[in-house]
Structure 1
Amino acid sequence: MNEHIDTLEPAILWRHFRTLCNIPRPSGHEAALVAQLIAWAESRGLSHDRDNFGNLRLRKPATVGHEQAPGIVLQGHLDMVAQAASGSAHDFTRDSLDTYLEDGWLKARGTTLGADNGLGVAAALAVLEDDELVHGPLEALFTLEEETSMGGALNLAEGWLEGRYLLNLDSEDRGQVYIGCAGGADINVSAAFATSSLREDEAALELTIGGLIGGHSGLDIHRGRGNANRLMSRALVELAEFSPRLVSWSGGTLRNALPREAQASLVLFDEHVSIARQRLAAFEAQIRDELRDTDPDVTLTLGRGNAESALSVTDSRQLIAVLDAAPYGVERMSAAVEGVVETSNNLGVVQLREGRFHLCALVRSLRDDAVIMMEQRIRGLFALIGATTVAENAYPGWKPVPEAALLARFCSLHETVTGRAPEIKVIHAGLECGILGAKYPALEMISFGPLIRGAHSPSERVEVESVGEFWQVLKGLITELAAPASV
């Protein structure tokens, strides 16, 4: 499947990406890909090992005469975000991706493409395969479960890696190099509510919000796109005077993706249904105007539902109120790095079923103390309704070191290869570099990659031409680092 990928250049890189497209690899389901990579490494005589968490390392000795060059760790994560368009029957645990080319971009039909971070992994494999490339000692580190928990990096064995430089291949902008990133934490909120049966004069309704673009909860958080969970809370606030009772809520599927859809079941008295429809029609017109430049296809529908029981009016009112008051989106722009978000929160997943409520939010910040402060605010807010809040999977940010020798050599090489100097950036996203740097403080690190847009959404795509440039820069840098640094 995906034979057309074999027509792309550089072929040595793209054929590995085709393998990644054909093998299902959502977070937590990387085993088949790991087995394939181990078999491939053994077929080429490359050594391999794994740490206790299951992260995979492949190694290749230096080119003869370059054994004393500093070692390089090529790093990427094997898993991909599993997001499908509404109505798609794609099973990310069983089905290959269905990719296609359009106007110079590679895309996937109805799903995420997995260019994040499949192209970084493919590039590392291509480096290991290229026997004409001059290089020092090479390690390729492939981590697991990056997209759901940073589990691979957080549990990476210490004292395992041997390289001096780490090239993280998980960035998504052409002509840019990243030297710092946000840290973050998952904020999980849970509560249980009593339910009671519907009265004869109550009607069950189903409220649905859809048509949103979604996107990456770090890279796209500042773009003003709609968040289905926040829009749902706003819609329910519009109905507050009718004393709705909540039955269920299902919004978003991943804490690191902007939620594109949400459904809520609710109960109203029969006499209020007609006016509620009018109120929601007006609200839909409002949000369509509000989001016309970012989410022009947003929709809000209200239909008949089915329910036997619902939360009380009081519990429903309070739950809706705290969800509507919860911090979301950009909290603060960085004063130190112009144009970069410092702190944000994504209301990623909201679930209410049979009285059991769960929220999974993802807080990101360039400041680790700001993550803690945001968690405290959320904890305090939801404590008002008796909910329990737990911060999990916290990971540190990556502090920029603009004077690093590796960065200087990369910038010089990039200008030589492309004819232009790279932009030096700090990213509001959770690269694994912060975690890896805490475990291996002597590592010098940079992150770069091809041009990817729409990551973490079914509109994900990669510019084919940028992959060729990325490959040339990567090869050139590896050869450059195999030679002694100029004095």
Structure 2
Amino acid sequence: MNEHLETLTPRPLWRHFRTLCNTPRPSGHEAGIRRTLIAWAEARGLAHDLDAAGNLRLKKPATPGCEQAPGVILQGHLDMVAQANAEHPHDFTSDPIETVIADGWLHARGTTLGADNGLGVAAALAILEDDTLRHGPLEALFTVEEESSMGGALHLAEGWLEGRILLNLDSEDRGQVYIGCAGGADVVVEANLPTSAVHAEERTWRLSLTGLVGGHSGIDIHKGRGNANRLLVRVLRALEPCGVRLVDYHGGTLRNALPREAFATLVMADGEEGAARARLAALQDELRAELEGVDEGLALALEPAARAETALTPTASRMLVAALHVAPCGVERMSVAVPGVVETSNNLGVVSLEAGRLHLCALVRSLRDSACADMADRFRALFGLIGAEVRMENAYPGWTPAPESPLLTRFRELHQRLTGDAPAVRVIHAGLECGILGGKYPGLQMISFGPQIRGAHSPDERVEIDSVAEFWQLLRAMLESLAIDPLSPANA
């Protein structure tokens, strides 16, 4: 499948990306692609090893004469976000990604593409097999579970890596280079809420909110797109005069993707259908107007459902909806130190209710670790009012910018020479692994760059094909420059 990828330039990179598209690799299921890469490395005589977390390292010695150049680590993550449109059934643990080219962009048919971070991994593999490139000692570090928990980076073996320079290949903007990123943490809320029998005069309904764009919960959080969980809870609040009680709720699938859809099963008194439909019609118009130009495909639907036997008690249902309604969601604060960058945000990513059991997972991001901790405490204070347990998990630090880094200076010079333009130097409101890796290996100099990717973490994910060739050119030039003219030992 995806044979057309091998007609694109640079061919070695796209050939490896084809392998990644054809090999299922959602977070937590990286073993298959890891086996494939190990077999490839063995066939080429490349050294390889794994750490206890399952991170894979491939090594290639320096070109003769460049042994004294500083070692360079090419870093990316093996896993991808698994998101598919509702009308496109796809098993991410067994089905390949089907790619399509349109208007100079590569897309996937109905699913996420996996360009995040498959193209970075493919570029590193292509570098390892490029025997025409002059380079110093190379390590390719491929981490696991980046999209689900940053688990690979968080549990990366210490004292394992040898290089002193790290090129993170997980950025998504052509003409930009990243030197800092937000830290983050998962906030998990769990509770057992009281239920009671559904009365004979109550009818069961299925309420759905669909049609949102979705996107990356970090880099898209400031764009005003709808969050299906926040919006469906708003709808449930509006239906409370109809006497609704929640039976179940399912919204969002990943804590780091803006939820595109949410569904609730509810009961309400017989005879309230007309009033409920009138409220829904008015709300759909209101929400579309509020999201005009950004996310106006929103659709609400109310359909009869199989009779439920139990639902939350009226008090529990009202309290849960109220707590979800006021829970932090979206941009909390913009940075003063880095104008135009979000400082702190929260994505109300995954909410489920089944038989009275509530599970919520939100992803908090911030340039300040103290703000992450405070946001978690706000959840603890809020949901403590309904008897929920709240905990913070998978916390990871941010990456502090080093704008005077010699590595950054070198990249800027090369970018100017090769493209005719200086790159924009950025700090990203997303969780690049650099902050974690820098904490484990304090002497590393790091930058992050990549091709032009849009719609990451959603089925709208796509990559500009021409930008991949430019990314490849910059990566090769950077490695050759560091081999021929190493950074000074004092700074490297």
Scaled to the shorter chain, the TM-score interval is over 0.9
Distance in 1, Cα, partners of 2:259 & 2:487: 49
1:417-464 deviations in Å (ceiling 9; x for gaps): 111100000000000000000000000000000000000000000000
Q: 1:38: how far off?
A: 0.5
Q: 1:318: how far off?
A: 0.2
Q: 1:277: how far off?
A: 1.3
Distance in 2, Cα, partners of 1:102 & 1:156: 39
User: Is 1:6 equivalent to 2:9 in the alignment?
Assistant: no
Which residue in 2 is equivalent to 1:404? Answer: 405
Which residue in 1 is equivalent to 2:141? Answer: 141
Which residue in 2 is equivalent to 1:295? Answer: 295
1:259-300 deviations in Å (ceiling 9; x for gaps): 000000111111322111111111111001111211121100
Distance in 1, Cα, partners of 2:127 & 2:321: 52
Distance change (3 Å), C-alpha of 1:478 and 1:320: same
Q: 1:244: how far off?
A: 1.4
Which residue in 1 is equivalent to 2:388? Answer: 387
State the one-letter code of the partner of 2:145.
Answer: E
Which residue in 1 is equivalent to 2:33? Answer: 33
Q: 1:485: how far off?
A: 4.3
Which residue in 1 is equivalent to 2:223? Answer: 223
Distance in 2, Cα, partners of 1:293 & 1:386: 40
Is the CA contact (8 Å cut-off) linking 1:221 and 1:344 kept in structure 2?
A: yes
Is the CA contact (8 Å cut-off) linking 1:243 and 1:317 kept in structure 2?
A: no
Q: 1:241: how far off?
A: 2.1
1:99-154 deviations in Å (ceiling 9; x for gaps): 01000000100000000000000000011000000000000000000000000000
Distance in 2, Cα, partners of 1:100 & 1:435: 35
State the one-letter code of the partner of 1:356.
Answer: R
User: Is 1:416 equivalent to 2:405 in the alignment?
Assistant: no
Is the CA contact (8 Å cut-off) linking 2:242 and 2:275 kept in structure 1?
A: no
Which residue in 1 is equivalent to 2:346? Answer: 345
Which residue in 2 is equivalent to 1:326? Answer: 327
1:227-285 deviations in Å (ceiling 9; x for gaps): 00000110011012233111000000000000000000111111322111111111111
What is the DSSP-based 3-state SS (H/G/I as helix, E as strand, rest coil) of the residue aligned with 1:271? coil
Distance in 2, Cα, partners of 1:8 & 1:255: 34
Which residue in 1 is equivalent to 2:191? Answer: 191
Distance in 2, Cα, partners of 1:177 & 1:460: 20
Runs (4 or more) in structure 1 with deviation over 6 Å come to: none
Q: Where does 1:98-247 land on structure 2 (aligned, <5 Å)?
A: 98-247=98-247
What is the DSSP-based 3-state SS (H/G/I as helix, E as strand, rest coil) of the residue aligned with 2:272? helix
1:315-372 deviations in Å (ceiling 9; x for gaps): 0000000000000000000000010000000000000001100100000001111000
State the one-letter code of the partner of 1:83.
Answer: Q
Q: 1:308: how far off?
A: 1.3
Q: Where does 1:240-259 land on structure 2 (aligned, <5 Å)?
A: 240-259=240-259
State the one-letter code of the partner of 2:184.
Answer: G
State the one-letter code of the partner of 2:359.
Answer: H
Q: TM-score, normalised by structure 2?
A: 0.98
Q: 1:196: how far off?
A: 1.4
Which residue in 1 is equivalent to 2:311? Answer: 310
Distance in 2, Cα, partners of 1:13 & 1:114: 14
Q: Which consecutive unaligned segments of at least 5 residues does structure 1 have?
A: none
Distance in 1, Cα, partners of 2:145 & 2:393: 14
User: Is 1:262 equivalent to 2:262 in the alignment?
Assistant: yes
Distance in 2, Cα, partners of 1:171 & 1:53: 23
Which residue in 2 is equivalent to 1:66? Answer: 66
Is the CA contact (8 Å cut-off) linking 1:452 and 1:461 kept in structure 2?
A: yes
Q: Which consecutive unaligned segments of at least 5 residues does structure 2 have?
A: none
Q: 1:377: how far off?
A: 0.5
Q: 1:486: how far off?
A: 7.4
Which residue in 2 is equivalent to 1:362? Answer: 363
Which residue in 1 is equivalent to 2:474? Answer: 473
Distance change (3 Å), C-alpha of 1:486 and 1:244: closer
Q: Where does 1:427-442 land on structure 2 (aligned, <5 Å)?
A: 427-442=428-443
Distance in 2, Cα, partners of 1:122 & 1:160: 23
Q: 1:86: how far off?
A: 1.1
1:4-25 deviations in Å (ceiling 9; x for gaps): 0011000011100000000000
Q: TM-score, normalised by structure 1?
A: 0.99
Distance in 1, Cα, partners of 2:98 & 2:487: 47
Which residue in 2 is equivalent to 1:20? Answer: 20
Give the number of equivalent residue pairs: 487
Distance in 2, Cα, partners of 1:277 & 1:200: 21
- Among the aligned pairs, what percent are the same residue? 66
What is the DSSP-based 3-state SS (H/G/I as helix, E as strand, rest coil) of the residue aligned with 2:32? helix
Distance in 2, Cα, partners of 1:210 & 1:272: 23
What is the DSSP-based 3-state SS (H/G/I as helix, E as strand, rest coil) of the residue aligned with 2:333? strand
